[in-house]
């Protein structure tokens, strides 16, 4: 997408990737993505903030050419992952006088991932400032959003905070700014937070505090749109990273012959009667991103699996593995299992979920097709969930 000026002498020079379907060969990209790169023209020096995925290098190069950029003095690398750093070698080739400005940890990653020579780096630390003559950049280390070396950059005179993945979203759009379309922006940002940032909730909280004192007019991440009302995304992040959960149950299930889904349907009916929001996900056809979004603030997660190969169904094991890896703030977990002649599904699931620090409500395990006493056991499970939510003060 063509270069555009976002503030005087600050240009968007990144690329929209309308067609990309998967990120990390795992995350479905419902709306594509973008790799945002920003060119800052100073009176004395010119600077580029992040580059683009190697698949879009030519877009970045063309944007710089069309702007008439014949000198880049600094390339700020806020994060070493290749969707932002992957075009640095090409930019260094085209602008050989440029130096890569980054923190010491990021330098080591860039040397390892992109084979950039040691002589090309200028190292900055938390609070270091860099002058372009009339514009000043201040670097703020914001580690673990979502790698250990991540940092943000504050352009003081223009009050722009560049944040790379932090506050990002996998959205390709011809509109650079969020503007009034806040619902779409927040949905994309919540999906991104859920899939990528959620395991790092604690460091993100610290990083939010770190940027609180800054006067910010624009938050410019390196994925998705630019926030022209920064408080929108900052406040959303405060909510998502807080300890608060909602009166909601996420159900992850799969059924081979109808027994498990019969139990799940009973559970849904019970919970709905108790005014609890229910979000069921059949793992056979679920969107991983929507499950992740649901996990951001659900108080309870119930995993329902038939027994297969003497244990948890492999597709349910995959969903449970993701749940565990995303480390949401879930307060309560339970398990429903159906079997014909035995198995270890419940023990296996408990083992897979070892990183989720939630209280386990007694699982329900039934033999064969659900009978009255089995459905009664589900009623009891629903009642226990309701009481837990009540005690937690969310009903």
Q: How far is the CB of 128 from ligand FEO (least distance, A)?
A: 22
Contact 49, 139 (CB under 8 A): no
Contact 251, 264 (CB under 8 A): yes
Residue 178 dihedral angles phi and psi, to the nearest 5°: -65, -40
**Residue with Cβ nearer ligand FEO (83 or 270):** 83
Q: How far is the CB of 123 from ligand FEO (least distance, A)?
A: 21
Contact 304, 249 (CB under 8 A): no
Q: In 3D, which of 208, 219, 210, 199 has the Cα closest to residue 327?
A: 199
**Residue with Cβ nearer ligand FEO (56 or 248):** 56
Q: Which residue is nearest to ligand FEO (CB)?
A: 81
191 binds ligand FEO (CB under 6 A): no
Q: How far is the CB of 109 from ligand FEO (least distance, A)?
A: 11
Write out the H or E segment, with its range, that includes residue 291: helix 288-295
Per CB under 6 A, contacts with ligand FEO among 265-284 are none
Per the listing, tokens 């630019």 go with 226
**Residue with Cβ nearer ligand FEO (227 or 281):** 227
Q: How far is the CB of 196 from ligand FEO (least distance, A)?
A: 7
Q: How far is the CB of 74 from ligand FEO (least distance, A)?
A: 20
**Residue with Cβ nearer ligand FEO (59 or 278):** 59
Stretch that binds ligand FEO, among 81-89, 96-104, 133-141, 297-305 (CB under 6 A): 81-89
Q: How far is the CB of 80 from ligand FEO (least distance, A)?
A: 9
Contact 204, 237 (CB under 8 A): yes
Per CB under 6 A, contacts with ligand FEO among 295-354 are none
Q: In 3D, which of 216, 248, 229, 131 has the Cα closest to residue 186?
A: 229
Query: Cα(247)–Cα(103) distance, rounded to whole angstroms?
Result: 42
Stretch that binds ligand FEO, among 14-22, 79-87, 257-265, 310-318 (CB under 6 A): 79-87
Instruction: Kindly write out the interface string for residues 84-113 of this chain, putting x where it contacts ligand FEO by CB under 6 A and - elsewhere.
Output: x-----------------------------
Q: In sequence order, which residues have a C-beta less than 8 Å from that of residue 334 and are 6 or more positions away?
A: 300, 301, 302, 303, 360, 361, 362, 363, 364, 381, 384, 385
79 binds ligand FEO (CB under 6 A): yes
**Residue with Cβ nearer ligand FEO (168 or 343):** 168
Stretch that binds ligand FEO, among 80-88, 99-107, 134-142, 327-335 (CB under 6 A): 80-88
Stretch that binds ligand FEO, among 36-44, 61-69, 78-86, 107-115 (CB under 6 A): 78-86
Among positions 165, 195, 270, 297, the unique one binding ligand FEO when judged by CB under 6 A: 165
81 binds ligand FEO (CB under 6 A): yes
> CA 346, 351, 355, 358 torsion: positive or negative?
positive
Q: In sequence order, which residues have a C-beta less than 8 Å from that of residue 316 and are 6 or more positions away?
A: 252, 253, 254, 283, 303, 304, 305, 349
53 binds ligand FEO (CB under 6 A): no
**Residue with Cβ nearer ligand FEO (146 or 388):** 146
DSSP string, 156-207: TTTTEEEEETTT---B--S--B-TT-HHHHHHHHHHHIIIIIGGGHHHHHHH
223 binds ligand FEO (CB under 6 A): yes
Q: In 3D, which of 347, 337, 339, 332 has the Cα closest to residue 382?
A: 332
Residue 225 Cα distances to 179, 180, 188, angstroms: 9, 12, 10
83 binds ligand FEO (CB under 6 A): yes
**Residue with Cβ nearer ligand FEO (114 or 319):** 114
Contact set with ligand FEO (CB under 6 A)? 79, 81, 83-84, 146, 165, 223
């Amino acid at each position: 997408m063509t270069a555009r000026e976002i503030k005087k002498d600050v240009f968007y020079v990144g690329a929209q990737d309308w067609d990309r379907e998967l990120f990390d060969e795992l995350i479905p990209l419902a709306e594509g993505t973008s790799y945002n790169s920003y060119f800052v023209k100073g009176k004395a020096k010119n600077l580029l903030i992040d580059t683009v995925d190697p698949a879009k290098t030519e877009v970045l190069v063309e944007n710089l050419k069309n702007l008439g950029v014949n000198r880049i003095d600094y390339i700020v690398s806020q994060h070493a992952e290749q969707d932002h750093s992957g075009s640095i070698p090409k930019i260094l080739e085209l602008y050989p006088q440029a130096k890569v400005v980054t923190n010491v940890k990021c330098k080591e990653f860039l040397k390892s991932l992109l084979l950039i020579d040691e002589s090309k780096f200028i190292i900055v630390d938390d609070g270091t400032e860099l002058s372009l003559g009339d514009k000043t950049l201040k670097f703020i280390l914001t580690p673990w959003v979502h790698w250990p070396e991540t940092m943000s950059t504050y352009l003081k005179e223009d009050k722009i905070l560049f944040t790379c993945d932090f506050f990002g979203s996998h959205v390709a759009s011809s509109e650079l700014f969020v503007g009034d379309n806040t619902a779409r922006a927040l949905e994309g940002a919540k999906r991104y937070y859920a899939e990528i940032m959620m395991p790092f909730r604690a460091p993100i909280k610290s990083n939010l505090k770190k940027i609180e004192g800054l006067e910010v007019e624009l938050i410019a991440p390196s994925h998705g749109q630019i926030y022209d009302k920064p408080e929108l995304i900052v406040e959303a992040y405060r909510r998502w990273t807080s300890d608060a959960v909602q009166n909601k149950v996420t159900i992850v299930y799969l059924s081979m012959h109808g027994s498990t889904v019969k139990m799940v349907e009973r559970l849904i009916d019970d919970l709905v009667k108790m005014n609890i929001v229910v979000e069921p996900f059949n793992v056979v056809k679920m969107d991983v991103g929507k499950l992740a979004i649901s996990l951001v603030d659900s108080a309870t997660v119930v995993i329902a699996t038939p027994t297969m190969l003497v244990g948890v169904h492999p597709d349910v094991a995959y969903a449970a593995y993701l749940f565990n890896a995303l480390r949401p703030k879930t307060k309560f977990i339970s398990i429903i299992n159906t079997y014909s002649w035995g198995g270890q599904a419940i023990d296996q699931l408990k083992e897979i979920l070892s990183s989720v620090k939630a209280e386990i409500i007694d699982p329900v395990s039934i033999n064969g097709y659900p009978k009255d006493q089995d459905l009664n056991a589900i009623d009891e499970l629903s009642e226990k969930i309701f009481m837990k939510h009540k005690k937690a003060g969310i009903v």
